[in-house]
Structure 1
């Protein structure tokens, strides 16, 4: 298990360096948490960048993390399986979530729990932003 992941998946890694990816790639300016004790407008934590997925860590702990993400139109996170439940909530636009080959269209304000150990993928048929919460404790491993 990799404790440096944002979505509960070992392939989704973060380093101390900012990463820029275009075309199925990722901008990651998120290794450090947001400053505590300060209000934020959640939808403004990450910006849209053409041909990219952008993430910003809100809280990162060994027991889980909360991340704000933006997806440009046409971008997606590859199909994966996480050993943890993942809660996603759309805060702008519409997201397409595939879980075990079943499609769900999530609109503004909609939340969804992706069950642990399920095959899932997130896609942007149009641009969207979401908050992703992963809880890593309380599982029998």
Structure 2
């Protein structure tokens, strides 16, 4: 989306990405050597299987509710809530209902 990638321009973040049936949609807003900021929209029943990342990541739920599993512990995280996921710990996300999130990955120590 044109304006969402321009620096210094305000935009409604929740409206910057749309749900798609039976899909996970993503849009990278910023991709730098120091980290990334990515929007996601998960349709109900969709998810990301368990994986690890070498960097800490911040998940902010914008709409709906996500089931986030970190190191075997499950959390139900709703709109307006944030989780900081530790580096090198297995985690997964599941949409028991559709949700949108903003993922900020921070590279480095």
More helix by share: 2
Which residue of 2 is the match for residue 74 of structure 1? Answer: 45
Residue 94 of structure 1 aligns to a residue in which SS?
Answer: strand
Residue 88 of structure 1 aligns to a residue in which SS?
Answer: strand
* Distance (whole Å) between structure 1 residues aligned to residue 5 and residue 23 of structure 2: 21
Instruction: State the 1:34 CA deviation.
Output: 1.1
Instruction: State the 1:37 CA deviation.
Output: 2.2
User: RCO higher in 1 or 2 (8 Å CA, sep ≥ 6)?
Assistant: 2
TM-score normalised according to structure 2 size: 0.94
TM-score normalised according to structure 1 size: 0.73
Task: Supply the RMSD in Å over aligned alpha carbons.
Answer: 1.3
The aligned runs of 1:1-141 (5 Å cut-off) are 34-138=5-109
Residue 103 of structure 1 aligns to a residue in which SS?
Answer: strand
How many aligned positions are there? 107
Gaps of 5+ in 2: none
More strand by share: 2
